[in-house]
Protein backbone atom coordinates (compact mmCIF):
# COMPACT_ATOMS: atom_id res chain seq x y z
CA UNK A 1 0.00 0.00 0.00
CA UNK A 2 1.22 3.52 -0.73
CA UNK A 3 1.91 5.97 2.10
CA UNK A 4 -1.48 6.77 3.49
CA UNK A 5 -1.65 10.49 2.76
CA UNK A 6 0.28 13.42 1.41
CA UNK A 7 1.00 16.01 4.04
CA UNK A 8 0.15 19.57 3.17
CA UNK A 9 0.15 22.44 5.52
CA UNK A 10 -3.06 24.25 5.58
CA UNK A 11 -4.73 27.20 7.15
CA UNK A 12 -8.39 27.24 7.83
CA UNK A 13 -9.61 30.54 6.47
CA UNK A 14 -12.79 32.33 7.15
CA UNK A 15 -14.86 32.63 3.99
CA UNK A 16 -13.70 35.70 2.21
CA UNK A 17 -16.44 36.26 -0.23
CA UNK A 18 -17.14 39.80 0.87
CA UNK A 19 -13.51 40.84 0.36
CA UNK A 20 -13.09 39.38 -3.11
CA UNK A 21 -13.60 41.11 -6.39
CA UNK A 22 -14.11 39.49 -9.77
CA UNK A 23 -15.66 39.92 -13.14
CA UNK A 24 -16.84 36.34 -13.64
CA UNK A 25 -20.60 36.22 -13.49
CA UNK A 26 -20.35 33.04 -11.39
CA UNK A 27 -18.69 35.10 -8.66
CA UNK A 28 -21.26 36.29 -6.20
CA UNK A 29 -20.73 38.87 -3.53
CA UNK A 30 -21.97 38.92 0.00
CA UNK A 31 -22.38 42.24 1.66
CA UNK A 32 -23.63 43.62 4.92
CA UNK A 33 -27.18 43.91 3.65
CA UNK A 34 -27.43 40.46 2.03
CA UNK A 35 -30.19 38.35 3.54
CA UNK A 36 -31.15 34.73 3.25
CA UNK A 37 -33.68 34.34 0.49
CA UNK A 38 -35.68 31.74 -1.41
CA UNK A 39 -37.37 32.09 -4.78
CA UNK A 40 -39.47 29.72 -6.85
CA UNK A 41 -39.56 29.20 -10.62
CA UNK A 42 -41.39 26.73 -12.83
CA UNK A 43 -38.94 24.04 -13.96
CA UNK A 44 -41.06 21.98 -16.34
CA UNK A 45 -43.48 19.10 -16.35
CA UNK A 46 -43.34 15.33 -15.99
CA UNK A 47 -44.58 13.11 -18.86
CA UNK A 48 -48.00 12.90 -17.08
CA UNK A 49 -48.28 16.70 -17.07
CA UNK A 50 -47.50 17.28 -13.36
CA UNK A 51 -45.66 20.55 -13.07
CA UNK A 52 -42.41 20.77 -11.14
CA UNK A 53 -40.71 23.76 -9.49
CA UNK A 54 -37.16 24.79 -8.80
CA UNK A 55 -36.37 26.74 -5.63
CA UNK A 56 -33.29 28.90 -5.27
CA UNK A 57 -32.03 29.19 -1.71
CA UNK A 58 -29.37 31.76 -0.86
CA UNK A 59 -27.73 32.47 2.46
CA UNK A 60 -26.33 35.75 3.74
CA UNK A 61 -22.83 34.88 2.46
CA UNK A 62 -24.02 34.32 -1.10
CA UNK A 63 -23.99 30.52 -1.13
CA UNK A 64 -26.74 29.21 -3.37
CA UNK A 65 -28.60 25.89 -3.67
CA UNK A 66 -31.18 25.10 -6.33
CA UNK A 67 -33.55 22.39 -5.14
CA UNK A 68 -36.48 20.84 -6.98
CA UNK A 69 -39.64 19.38 -5.51
CA UNK A 70 -39.12 16.50 -7.99
CA UNK A 71 -37.23 13.94 -5.90
CA UNK A 72 -36.06 16.71 -3.57
CA UNK A 73 -33.11 16.96 -5.94
CA UNK A 74 -30.32 19.40 -5.13
CA UNK A 75 -29.72 20.44 -8.72
CA UNK A 76 -26.81 22.80 -8.01
CA UNK A 77 -24.86 24.02 -5.00
CA UNK A 78 -22.54 27.01 -5.34
CA UNK A 79 -19.82 27.47 -2.71
CA UNK A 80 -16.64 29.59 -2.82
CA UNK A 81 -13.13 28.34 -3.49
CA UNK A 82 -10.08 29.77 -1.68
CA UNK A 83 -10.31 32.90 -3.86
CA UNK A 84 -13.99 33.39 -3.21
CA UNK A 85 -15.02 32.12 -6.62
CA UNK A 86 -18.47 30.57 -6.46
CA UNK A 87 -18.81 27.32 -8.40
CA UNK A 88 -21.14 24.38 -8.50
CA UNK A 89 -19.92 21.42 -6.42
CA UNK A 90 -22.53 18.76 -7.22
CA UNK A 91 -23.11 16.63 -10.30
CA UNK A 92 -26.45 16.70 -12.09
CA UNK A 93 -28.24 17.71 -15.25
CA UNK A 94 -29.30 21.01 -16.83
CA UNK A 95 -32.93 20.02 -17.37
CA UNK A 96 -35.75 18.22 -15.60
CA UNK A 97 -36.25 15.93 -18.61
CA UNK A 98 -32.77 14.48 -18.21
CA UNK A 99 -33.42 13.67 -14.55
CA UNK A 100 -36.70 12.00 -15.49
CA UNK A 101 -35.10 9.98 -18.29
CA UNK A 102 -32.23 8.34 -16.41
CA UNK A 103 -30.30 9.39 -13.34
CA UNK A 104 -28.05 7.52 -10.90
CA UNK A 105 -29.92 9.33 -8.07
CA UNK A 106 -28.02 12.61 -8.67
CA UNK A 107 -28.70 14.91 -5.68
CA UNK A 108 -31.93 13.24 -4.65
CA UNK A 109 -33.67 12.20 -1.47
CA UNK A 110 -33.53 8.44 -1.20
CA UNK A 111 -36.27 6.39 0.47
CA UNK A 112 -38.08 4.55 1.85
CA UNK A 113 -34.85 2.64 2.31
CA UNK A 114 -31.50 4.07 1.32
CA UNK A 115 -29.18 1.28 0.15
CA UNK A 116 -29.95 -2.39 -0.38
CA UNK A 117 -32.32 -4.96 1.05
CA UNK A 118 -31.23 -8.51 0.15
CA UNK A 119 -33.43 -10.32 -2.35
CA UNK A 120 -36.00 -7.51 -2.03
CA UNK A 121 -37.54 -9.30 0.91
CA UNK A 122 -37.95 -9.00 4.66
CA UNK A 123 -40.17 -10.35 7.41
CA UNK A 124 -42.02 -8.30 9.95
CA UNK A 125 -44.36 -9.69 12.60
CA UNK A 126 -44.38 -13.07 10.85
CA UNK A 127 -45.35 -11.65 7.46
CA UNK A 128 -43.05 -11.64 4.42
CA UNK A 129 -42.93 -8.45 2.37
CA UNK A 130 -41.69 -8.48 -1.23
CA UNK A 131 -40.16 -5.33 -2.67
CA UNK A 132 -39.12 -4.41 -6.18
CA UNK A 133 -35.81 -6.00 -7.23
CA UNK A 134 -34.17 -3.14 -9.07
CA UNK A 135 -30.50 -4.02 -8.49
CA UNK A 136 -29.96 -7.57 -9.71
CA UNK A 137 -31.77 -9.77 -7.21
CA UNK A 138 -31.76 -7.03 -4.57
CA UNK A 139 -33.84 -3.97 -3.72
CA UNK A 140 -32.01 -0.61 -3.96
CA UNK A 141 -32.86 2.92 -2.82
CA UNK A 142 -36.59 2.43 -2.35
CA UNK A 143 -37.35 0.54 -5.56
CA UNK A 144 -38.51 1.36 -9.06
CA UNK A 145 -40.17 4.60 -8.05
CA UNK A 146 -38.52 5.70 -4.84
CA UNK A 147 -38.63 9.10 -3.15
CA UNK A 148 -36.13 10.36 -5.75
CA UNK A 149 -38.85 10.11 -8.42
CA UNK A 150 -41.92 11.51 -6.67
CA UNK A 151 -43.17 15.09 -6.57
CA UNK A 152 -43.04 16.51 -3.04
CA UNK A 153 -45.27 19.23 -1.64
CA UNK A 154 -42.93 22.17 -1.18
CA UNK A 155 -43.21 25.13 1.21
CA UNK A 156 -40.41 27.70 1.33
CA UNK A 157 -39.64 29.38 4.64
CA UNK A 158 -37.34 32.27 5.60
CA UNK A 159 -39.02 33.15 8.90
CA UNK A 160 -35.97 32.16 10.97
CA UNK A 161 -33.66 34.36 8.87
CA UNK A 162 -32.38 31.28 6.98
CA UNK A 163 -33.61 29.79 3.71
CA UNK A 164 -35.46 26.51 4.25
CA UNK A 165 -37.46 24.32 1.93
CA UNK A 166 -40.02 22.05 3.60
CA UNK A 167 -40.85 18.99 1.53
CA UNK A 168 -43.63 16.58 2.44
CA UNK A 169 -44.79 13.36 0.84
CA UNK A 170 -47.24 10.69 1.92
CA UNK A 171 -46.14 7.28 0.72
CA UNK A 172 -49.24 5.09 0.57
CA UNK A 173 -49.51 1.68 2.24
CA UNK A 174 -48.03 -0.89 -0.14
CA UNK A 175 -45.98 1.54 -2.21
CA UNK A 176 -43.03 -0.37 -3.69
CA UNK A 177 -44.12 -3.26 -1.46
CA UNK A 178 -43.60 -1.51 1.91
CA UNK A 179 -46.27 -1.70 4.62
CA UNK A 180 -47.97 1.34 6.16
CA UNK A 181 -48.88 4.84 5.11
CA UNK A 182 -45.65 6.74 5.70
CA UNK A 183 -45.84 10.50 6.18
CA UNK A 184 -42.45 11.99 5.40
CA UNK A 185 -41.08 15.49 5.83
CA UNK A 186 -37.63 16.57 4.69
CA UNK A 187 -36.34 20.06 5.42
CA UNK A 188 -33.41 21.49 3.50
CA UNK A 189 -31.86 24.59 5.11
CA UNK A 190 -29.01 26.59 3.63
CA UNK A 191 -27.81 28.02 6.91
CA UNK A 192 -25.98 31.30 7.41
CA UNK A 193 -23.07 29.19 8.75
CA UNK A 194 -22.58 27.86 5.21
CA UNK A 195 -24.17 24.49 5.79
CA UNK A 196 -26.65 22.47 3.82
CA UNK A 197 -28.65 21.00 6.67
CA UNK A 198 -31.08 18.17 5.98
CA UNK A 199 -33.58 16.98 8.56
CA UNK A 200 -35.83 14.02 7.95
CA UNK A 201 -39.02 13.13 9.84
CA UNK A 202 -41.50 10.28 9.37
CA UNK A 203 -44.46 8.63 11.02
CA UNK A 204 -46.33 5.47 10.06
CA UNK A 205 -49.57 3.64 10.77
CA UNK A 206 -47.98 0.15 10.42
CA UNK A 207 -44.52 -1.12 11.34
CA UNK A 208 -42.18 -0.53 8.44
CA UNK A 209 -38.47 -0.08 7.68
CA UNK A 210 -37.30 3.50 7.09
CA UNK A 211 -33.78 4.64 6.19
CA UNK A 212 -33.73 8.02 4.49
CA UNK A 213 -30.67 9.65 2.97
CA UNK A 214 -29.41 12.19 0.46
CA UNK A 215 -27.61 11.10 -2.69
CA UNK A 216 -25.56 14.17 -3.64
CA UNK A 217 -22.50 13.52 -5.82
CA UNK A 218 -19.84 15.97 -4.66
CA UNK A 219 -16.97 17.23 -6.77
CA UNK A 220 -15.31 20.09 -4.90
CA UNK A 221 -13.22 21.20 -7.90
CA UNK A 222 -16.20 23.34 -8.93
CA UNK A 223 -17.92 22.72 -12.25
CA UNK A 224 -16.67 19.10 -12.19
CA UNK A 225 -13.30 19.94 -13.77
CA UNK A 226 -11.57 16.71 -12.81
CA UNK A 227 -12.26 13.40 -11.14
CA UNK A 228 -12.32 13.19 -7.34
CA UNK A 229 -9.27 10.95 -6.87
CA UNK A 230 -7.14 13.80 -5.45
CA UNK A 231 -9.82 14.78 -2.93
CA UNK A 232 -8.59 14.04 0.57
CA UNK A 233 -11.17 12.16 2.62
CA UNK A 234 -11.33 11.28 6.28
CA UNK A 235 -14.01 9.09 7.84
CA UNK A 236 -14.49 9.01 11.58
CA UNK A 237 -15.15 5.29 11.77
CA UNK A 238 -14.29 2.22 13.80
CA UNK A 239 -14.73 -0.25 10.97
CA UNK A 240 -16.51 -0.99 7.72
CA UNK A 241 -19.02 -3.56 6.53
CA UNK A 242 -17.59 -6.01 3.98
CA UNK A 243 -20.08 -7.00 1.28
CA UNK A 244 -20.88 -9.97 -0.96
CA UNK A 245 -21.02 -9.85 -4.76
CA UNK A 246 -24.45 -8.14 -4.64
CA UNK A 247 -23.01 -5.46 -2.30
CA UNK A 248 -25.03 -6.79 0.63
CA UNK A 249 -23.15 -6.70 3.98
CA UNK A 250 -21.96 -10.14 5.09
CA UNK A 251 -22.60 -9.26 8.75
CA UNK A 252 -18.90 -8.84 9.57
CA UNK A 253 -17.59 -5.58 11.04
CA UNK A 254 -14.00 -5.32 9.81
CA UNK A 255 -11.27 -3.23 11.45
CA UNK A 256 -9.75 -0.50 9.25
CA UNK A 257 -6.08 -0.60 10.19
CA UNK A 258 -3.90 -2.02 7.43
CA UNK A 259 -6.72 -1.96 4.86
CA UNK A 260 -7.34 0.43 1.93
CA UNK A 261 -10.52 1.38 3.80
CA UNK A 262 -8.61 3.23 6.48
CA UNK A 263 -9.51 6.92 6.18
CA UNK A 264 -9.02 7.67 9.89
CA UNK A 265 -6.66 10.47 8.85
CA UNK A 266 -7.18 12.37 5.58
CA UNK A 267 -6.01 10.44 2.52
CA UNK A 268 -6.41 11.10 -1.21
CA UNK A 269 -9.19 8.83 -2.44
CA UNK A 270 -7.01 7.66 -5.32
CA UNK A 271 -4.20 6.42 -3.05
CA UNK A 272 -5.46 2.92 -2.45
CA UNK A 273 -8.53 2.66 -4.69
CA UNK A 274 -6.82 0.25 -7.09
CA UNK A 275 -5.23 -1.78 -4.31
CA UNK A 276 -5.48 -5.53 -4.80
CA UNK A 277 -8.35 -6.13 -2.39
CA UNK A 278 -11.39 -8.31 -2.92
CA UNK A 279 -13.73 -5.74 -1.32
CA UNK A 280 -12.55 -3.02 -3.73
CA UNK A 281 -13.03 -5.42 -6.62
CA UNK A 282 -16.59 -6.23 -5.56
CA UNK A 283 -17.50 -2.53 -5.33
CA UNK A 284 -15.44 -1.52 -8.40
CA UNK A 285 -13.93 0.91 -5.88
CA UNK A 286 -15.37 2.19 -2.62
CA UNK A 287 -19.06 1.43 -2.21
CA UNK A 288 -19.32 0.40 1.42
CA UNK A 289 -20.77 1.44 4.76
CA UNK A 290 -18.40 2.74 7.40
CA UNK A 291 -19.54 2.31 11.00
CA UNK A 292 -19.15 5.71 12.59
CA UNK A 293 -17.36 6.13 15.87
CA UNK A 294 -18.39 9.65 16.73
CA UNK A 295 -20.14 8.45 19.90
CA UNK A 296 -22.75 11.15 19.95
CA UNK A 297 -25.76 11.18 22.25
CA UNK A 298 -28.92 9.99 20.44
CA UNK A 299 -30.39 12.77 18.33
CA UNK A 300 -27.19 14.83 18.23
CA UNK A 301 -24.94 15.15 15.24
CA UNK A 302 -21.32 14.01 15.34
CA UNK A 303 -18.55 14.51 12.81
CA UNK A 304 -18.67 11.67 10.29
CA UNK A 305 -16.34 12.72 7.46
CA UNK A 306 -14.25 15.52 5.99
CA UNK A 307 -13.40 16.15 2.36
CA UNK A 308 -10.83 18.55 0.89
CA UNK A 309 -10.03 19.42 -2.69
CA UNK A 310 -6.44 20.68 -2.23
CA UNK A 311 -6.47 22.55 -5.55
CA UNK A 312 -9.54 24.75 -4.96
CA UNK A 313 -9.24 24.67 -1.16
CA UNK A 314 -12.90 23.72 -0.84
CA UNK A 315 -13.45 21.81 2.38
CA UNK A 316 -16.58 19.99 3.50
CA UNK A 317 -17.48 18.41 6.82
CA UNK A 318 -20.29 15.90 7.18
CA UNK A 319 -22.09 15.78 10.52
CA UNK A 320 -24.86 13.32 11.24
CA UNK A 321 -27.07 11.64 13.81
CA UNK A 322 -26.81 8.39 11.81
CA UNK A 323 -24.67 5.37 12.80
CA UNK A 324 -23.23 4.81 9.32
CA UNK A 325 -22.06 6.46 6.13
CA UNK A 326 -21.95 4.92 2.66
CA UNK A 327 -18.92 6.22 0.80
CA UNK A 328 -19.54 5.58 -2.90
CA UNK A 329 -16.71 6.69 -5.20
CA UNK A 330 -18.86 7.07 -8.33
CA UNK A 331 -17.82 3.69 -9.74
CA UNK A 332 -20.82 3.19 -12.01
CA UNK A 333 -20.82 6.50 -13.89
CA UNK A 334 -18.92 4.95 -16.82
CA UNK A 335 -19.08 8.14 -18.95
CA UNK A 336 -22.76 7.33 -19.45
CA UNK A 337 -24.13 10.69 -18.32
CA UNK A 338 -23.63 14.03 -20.02
CA UNK A 339 -24.12 16.39 -17.12
CA UNK A 340 -24.40 20.11 -16.54
CA UNK A 341 -22.65 22.25 -19.12
CA UNK A 342 -22.10 19.17 -21.31
CA UNK A 343 -19.48 17.66 -18.97
CA UNK A 344 -19.33 13.89 -19.39
CA UNK A 345 -19.14 12.22 -16.00
CA UNK A 346 -16.56 9.45 -16.10
CA UNK A 347 -16.03 6.97 -13.28
CA UNK A 348 -14.95 8.71 -10.06
CA UNK A 349 -16.17 12.10 -11.30
CA UNK A 350 -18.20 12.57 -8.13
CA UNK A 351 -18.52 10.89 -4.75
CA UNK A 352 -21.40 10.30 -2.40
CA UNK A 353 -21.30 10.41 1.38
CA UNK A 354 -24.70 8.98 2.24
CA UNK A 355 -25.46 9.07 5.95
CA UNK A 356 -27.72 6.21 6.95
CA UNK A 357 -28.40 3.09 8.96
CA UNK A 358 -26.76 -0.05 7.64
CA UNK A 359 -27.83 -1.82 4.44
CA UNK A 360 -30.13 -4.82 4.77
CA UNK A 361 -30.89 -4.07 8.43
CA UNK A 362 -34.44 -5.53 8.19
CA UNK A 363 -32.76 -8.92 7.60
CA UNK A 364 -29.88 -8.45 10.05
CA UNK A 365 -31.06 -8.33 13.61
CA UNK A 366 -27.51 -7.56 14.86
CA UNK A 367 -27.62 -4.19 13.06
CA UNK A 368 -29.31 -1.15 14.67
CA UNK A 369 -33.02 -1.39 13.92
CA UNK A 370 -34.58 0.57 11.07
CA UNK A 371 -38.15 -0.38 11.97
CA UNK A 372 -40.48 2.54 12.65
CA UNK A 373 -43.56 1.67 14.71
CA UNK A 374 -46.87 3.54 14.84
CA UNK A 375 -46.74 6.29 17.46
CA UNK A 376 -42.97 6.72 17.15
CA UNK A 377 -41.29 9.57 15.29
CA UNK A 378 -38.43 8.92 12.88
CA UNK A 379 -35.98 11.78 12.79
CA UNK A 380 -32.51 12.12 11.38
CA UNK A 381 -30.21 15.07 10.69
CA UNK A 382 -27.22 15.48 8.39
CA UNK A 383 -25.19 18.63 7.85
CA UNK A 384 -22.80 19.27 4.97
CA UNK A 385 -20.68 22.22 6.13
CA UNK A 386 -18.59 24.22 3.67
CA UNK A 387 -15.45 26.29 4.19
CA UNK A 388 -12.01 26.61 2.62
CA UNK A 389 -8.48 25.62 3.50
CA UNK A 390 -5.47 27.17 1.86
CA UNK A 391 -2.11 25.57 1.05
CA UNK A 392 0.90 27.47 2.36
C1 LIG B 1 -25.42 3.90 -4.04
C2 LIG B 1 -25.00 2.49 -4.10
C3 LIG B 1 -24.19 2.26 -5.31
C4 LIG B 1 -24.94 2.71 -6.55
C5 LIG B 1 -25.34 4.14 -6.41
C6 LIG B 1 -26.18 4.60 -7.56
O7 LIG B 1 -24.45 4.72 -3.60
O8 LIG B 1 -24.32 2.07 -2.96
O9 LIG B 1 -23.85 0.91 -5.41
O10 LIG B 1 -26.08 1.92 -6.71
O11 LIG B 1 -26.05 4.33 -5.23
O12 LIG B 1 -25.60 4.35 -8.79
Domains and CATH numbers, the chain: 9-227+326-388 (2.70.98.10)
How high does pLDDT run on average in the chain?
Answer: 92
326 lines ligand 1 (CB under 6 A): yes
Q: Which of 21-35, 128-142, 332-346 has the lowest mean pLDDT?
A: 21-35
Q: Please tell me the pTM assigned to this model.
A: 0.92
Q: Does the beta carbon of 337 lie inside 6 Å of ligand 1?
A: no
Tell me if 328 CB under 6 Å of ligand 1: yes
Can you give the pLDDT at residue 34? 87
Q: What pLDDT digit, counting tens, does each position of 351-386 carry? A: 999 999 999 999 999 999 999 999 999 999 999 999
Question: Distance (Å, rounded) from C-alpha 260 to C-alpha 244?
Answer: 17
**331 alpha carbon to ligand 1 midpoint, in Å?**
8
Torsion angle, alpha carbons of 78, 269, 273, 327, to 10? -60
341 in helix, strand or coil? helix
Inter-residue contact 194 to 59 (CB < 8 Å): yes
Q: Is the model's pLDDT at 280 over the cut of 80?
A: yes
Nearest CA to ligand 1 atom 8: 287
| 14 confidence band (pLDDT: 50, 70, 90) | very low
Q: For this structure, is 288 an active site residue?
A: no
300 in catalytic set: no
Looking at ligand 1, which atom is closest to the CA of residue 332?
12
Q: Is 352 in the pocket of ligand 1 (CB under 6 A)?
A: yes
How far, in Å, is the centroid of ligand 1 from the Cα of 328?
7
What integer pLDDT is reported at residue 358 of this predicted model?
98
Q: Which residues contact 166 (CB under 8 A, 6 or more apart)?
A: 154, 155, 156, 157, 185, 186, 187
Q: What is the mean pLDDT of residues 195-220?
A: 98
Summarised one tens digit per residue, pLDDT across range 69-81 is 999 999 999 999 9
Contact criterion met (CB below 8 Å) for 154 and 167 = yes
- Cα-to-centroid distance, 311 and ligand 1 (Å): 27
| Residue of 139, 214, 215, 288 marked active site | 215
Compute CA distances 358 → 74, 241, 263, 272, 280, whole Å.
24, 9, 19, 24, 18
Q: What is the mean pLDDT of residues 186-202?
A: 98
Whether the Cβ atoms of residue 22 and residue 128 lie closer than 8 Å to each other? no
In whole angstroms, what is the distance from residue 298 CA to residue 59 CA?
29
Amino acid sequence: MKPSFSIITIFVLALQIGCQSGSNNQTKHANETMKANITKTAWGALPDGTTVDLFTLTNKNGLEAKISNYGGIVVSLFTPDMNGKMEDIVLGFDSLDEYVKDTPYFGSIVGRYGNRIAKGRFELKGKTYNLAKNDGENHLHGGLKGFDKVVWEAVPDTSSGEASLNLTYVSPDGEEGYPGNLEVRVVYTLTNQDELKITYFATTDKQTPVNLTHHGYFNLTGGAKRDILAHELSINASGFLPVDSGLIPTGELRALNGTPFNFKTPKPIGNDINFDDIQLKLGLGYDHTWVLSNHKPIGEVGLAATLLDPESGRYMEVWTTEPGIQFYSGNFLHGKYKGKGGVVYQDRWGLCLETQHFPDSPNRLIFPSTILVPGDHYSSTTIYKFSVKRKL
